[in-house]
């Protein structure tokens, strides 16, 4: 019987090559898209959940006028001492360089004389492994961080510097407030504070991608159903003849479900090829490396295929197996039952497809807008050289002189912050209008900055070289002038409140 079903299905596929090809390709692309989206969702929703006690790990966020992740370092151990329910705590911090850039360490292995610049470096307490459960390849988690001069490196970093993971003991050299507990499992998708260790995800994207995956799967299934129903009249005589020869409805349903499973199986094979081809593109778009475990991959893809096969096969099987042979053999097959459902499928497929196409077009236009929007400064042909330590910041004139000797270099400037990156924020206000206090992003710049970045001055001037009076001066953008309530800002005194001494100076 199985051999007969397979033979009949293959004959039907060959006889309807066009329909079969459209169905297989549509399902293959649908399954591929759903699989990749599911991998993205798995990565986002599983972020930081590999720690053994992930549900009981919290980060303390500092809630003030500018909520942020930075808190006083002594707070970690103070909480362990003052709150019995806190079993352990760790303080960790990125190492910052000039401005708000990560400190760049020039790290060298003296044994092999290899040197790399490292910026993703954290300073942590010895209690790090009491809180987090990162697996250690070498070393004891209880003692590995006891040495204040010790360095803990990843497997890939060990291989980069030493060519092996056996590197224990070897050397690397380098030159008004409130607090809120944040579950570690919610930080990646639901926290957007200042000073995050790395850019976080967005829970809205998770919901959006989940809906997209579901819609793509439904569209592929509905497309399969509609194509099957479009062939109903052509297969009616075959069904009528089989029923006249004694075939039961259950047998016909098994045949149609079998055909659906076969088509889905072919689509799965094609989707596996498409997934393999899509891996580099997936990484380029999401920044997430897609690691496929063969066993789990087979289980997921086969389960997805089985769901699709059942969804797409049940309704056509029920509809086609209900054909009355007497009417079919007399060429009087007039089926009105179920026509509303078929029309609903077609309308749903059309509306959903148009919705997704429109959404794709809107996203494309938005991306184009972001890529070509006038930022108010020159972002092309500008190279940023981060300073590795603060001592180099005192040698900017030497660096400027040497860089200007390079052919093609037309200008050099120094700044504490890079346009487009995170800026420090502190309150500022006009001395005469203290009620119009605002939190402003600020950067310290040299006199050549506006020229190098091609920033136009609406009123006033830039800083002057060798003019000590400008050291306390301010240059404001139009938004700051408006929010500070300044109609004629030039010469007005501004007070800048910051962590260090307050600065008061004129708008130049």
- Where along the chain do its domains lie? 2-45+203-335, 65-175, 390-506
pLDDT (0 to 100) of residue 412: 92
Tally Cβ neighbours within 10 Å of residue 29. Answer: 16
**DSSP three-state, residue 123:** strand
Closest CA to 332 of 323, 322, 345: 323
Residue whose tokens read 């240059």 = 475
Cβ–Cβ < 8 Å for 430, 485: yes
How many angstroms separate the CA atoms of 470 and 209, rounded?
Answer: 51
Q: What letter would DSSP give residue 474?
A: B
Do the strands 122-124 and 92-94 form a parallel or antiparallel pair, or are they unpaired?
A: antiparallel
Structure letter (DSSP) for residue 150: -
Give φ, ψ of 156 to 5 degrees.
-65, -35
E strands within 149-280? 173-174, 178-183
CB 141 within 8 A of CB 108: no
Contacts of residue 49, Cβ cutoff 8 Å, sequence gap at least 6: 185
Distance CA 444, CA 424 (A): 10
The candidate with the shortest Cα–Cα distance to 317, out of 375, 250, 413, 374, is: 250
What was the pLDDT predicted at 176?
45
**Each residue's pLDDT expressed in tens, for the chain with a length of 508 residues:** 556 556 666 666 666 777 778 878 888 888 888 888 888 888 888 888 888 888 888 888 887 766 777 778 788 888 888 888 988 998 888 776 554 556 666 666 666 666 677 777 788 888 888 888 888 887 777 777 777 767 777 887 777 777 777 766 666 565 444 555 567 677 788 777 766 767 788 888 888 888 888 888 888 888 877 777 776 666 666 666 666 666 677 777 777 777 788 888 888 888 888 888 888 888 887 777 777 777 777 888 888 888 888 877 777 777 766 666 666 555 555 454 556 777 787 888 888 888 888 888 998 898 888 878 888 888 888 888 877 666 666 778 888 888 999 988 999 998 888 877 766 677 888 888 777 788 888 888 888 999 999 888 888 888 888 888 888 888 898 888 888 888 888 888 888 876 555 565 667 6
**CB-based contacts of 225, cutoff 8 Å, min separation 6:** 312, 315, 316, 345
The helix/strand/coil state of 428 is strand
Taking alpha carbons only, the member of 446, 496, 486 closest to residue 470 is 446
Q: Which of 129, 177, 180, 179 is nearest to 150 (CA)?
A: 129
Angstrom distance (rounded) from CA 254 to CA 236: 16
Helices of type H across 245-395: 249-286, 294-321, 325-329, 339-372, 390-393
Burial class (CB in 10 A: 0-12, 13-18, 19+), 270: middle
User: Is 435:466 a contact under the CB 8 Å cutoff?
Assistant: no
Per-residue DSSP letters for 54-72?
GGG-EEEEEESSS-BS---
Q: Tell me the three state secondary structure of residue 157.
A: helix
Closest by alpha carbon to 214, among 148, 98, 307? 307
C-alpha 327 chain-centroid distance: 58
Distance (Å, rounded) from C-alpha 236 to C-alpha 316? Answer: 12
- The predicted structure's pLDDT at residue 411: 92
From the number of C-beta atoms within 10 Å of its C-beta (0-12, 13-18, 19+), residue 361 rates as exposed
Strand, coil or helix: 503: strand
Residue 383's φ and ψ, nearest 5 degrees, are: -105, 130
Ordered DSSP codes for 384-413 = ----SSHHHHTTHHHHHHHHTTSTT-----
Q: Give residue for tokens 């860089």.
A: 403
Q: Are 463 and 447 in contact (CB under 8 A)?
A: yes
Please choose, from the candidates 402, 375, 394, the residue with its C-alpha nearest in 3D space to the C-alpha of residue 456. 375
CB 378 within 8 A of CB 410: no
């Amino acid at each position: 019987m199985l051999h007969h079903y397979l033979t009949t299905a293959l004959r039907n596929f060959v006889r309807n090559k066009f329909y079969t090809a459209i169905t297989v390709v549509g399902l293959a692309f649908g399954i591929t898209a759903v699989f990749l989206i599911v991998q993205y969702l798995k990565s986002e929703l599983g972020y930081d959940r590999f720690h053994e006690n992930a549900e009981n790990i919290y980060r303390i966020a500092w809630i003030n006028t500018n909520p942020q992740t930075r808190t006083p370092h002594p707070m970690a151990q103070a909480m362990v001492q003052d709150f019995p329910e806190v079993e352990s705590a760790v303080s960790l911090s990125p190492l910052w360089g000039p401005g708000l850039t990560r400190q760049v360490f020039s790290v060298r292995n003296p044994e092999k004389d290899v040197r790399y610049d490292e910026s993703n470096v954290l300073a942590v307490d010895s209690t790090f492994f009491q809180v987090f459960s990162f697996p250690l390849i070498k070393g004891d988690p209880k003692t590995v961080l006891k040495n204040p001069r010790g360095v803990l490196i990843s497997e890939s970093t060990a291989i980069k510097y030493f060519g092996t993971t056996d590197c224990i003991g070897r050397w690397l050299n380098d030159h008004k407030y409130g607090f809120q507990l944040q579950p570690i499992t919610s930080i990646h998708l639901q926290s957007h504070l200042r000073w995050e260790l790395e850019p976080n995800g967005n829970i809205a994207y998770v919901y959006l991608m989940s809906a997209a995956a579901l819609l793509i799967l439904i569209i592929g299934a509905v497309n399969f159903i509609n194509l099957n129903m479009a062939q109903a009249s052509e297969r009616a005589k075959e069904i009528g003849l089989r029923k006249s020869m004694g075939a039961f409805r259950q047998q016909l349903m098994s045949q149609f479900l079998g055909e659906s499973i076969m088509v889905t199986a072919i689509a799965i094979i094609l989707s596996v090829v498409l997934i393999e081809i899509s891996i580099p593109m997936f990484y380029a778009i999401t920044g997430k490396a897609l690691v496929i475990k063969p066993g789990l991959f087979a289980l997921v893809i086969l389960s997805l295929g089985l769901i699709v096969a059942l969804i797409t096969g049940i309704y056509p099987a029920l509809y086609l197996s209900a054909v009355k042979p007497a009417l079919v053999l007399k060429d009087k097959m007039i089926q009105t039952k179920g026509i509303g459902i078929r029309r609903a499928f077609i309308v749903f497929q059309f509306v959903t497809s148009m919705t997704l196409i429109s959404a794709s077009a809107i996203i494309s236009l938005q991306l184009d807008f972001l890529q070509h929007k006038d930022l108010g400064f020159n972002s092309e042909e500008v190279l940023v050289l981060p300073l590795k330590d603060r001592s180099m910041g005192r040698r900017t004139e030497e660096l400027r002189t040497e860089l200007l000797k390079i052919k093609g270099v037309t200008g050099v400037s120094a700044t504490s912050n890079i346009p487009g990156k995170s800026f420090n924020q502190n309150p500022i206000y006009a001395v005469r209008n203290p009620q119009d206090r605002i939190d402003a992003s600020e950067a310290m710049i040299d006199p050549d900055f506006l020229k190098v970045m091609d920033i136009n001055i609406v009123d006033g001037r830039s800083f002057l070289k060798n003019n000590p009076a400008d050291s306390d001066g301010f240059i404001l953008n139009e938004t700051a002038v408006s929010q500070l309530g300044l109609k004629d800002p030039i010469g007005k005194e501004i007070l800048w409140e910051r962590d260090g001494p307050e600065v008061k100076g004129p708008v130049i």
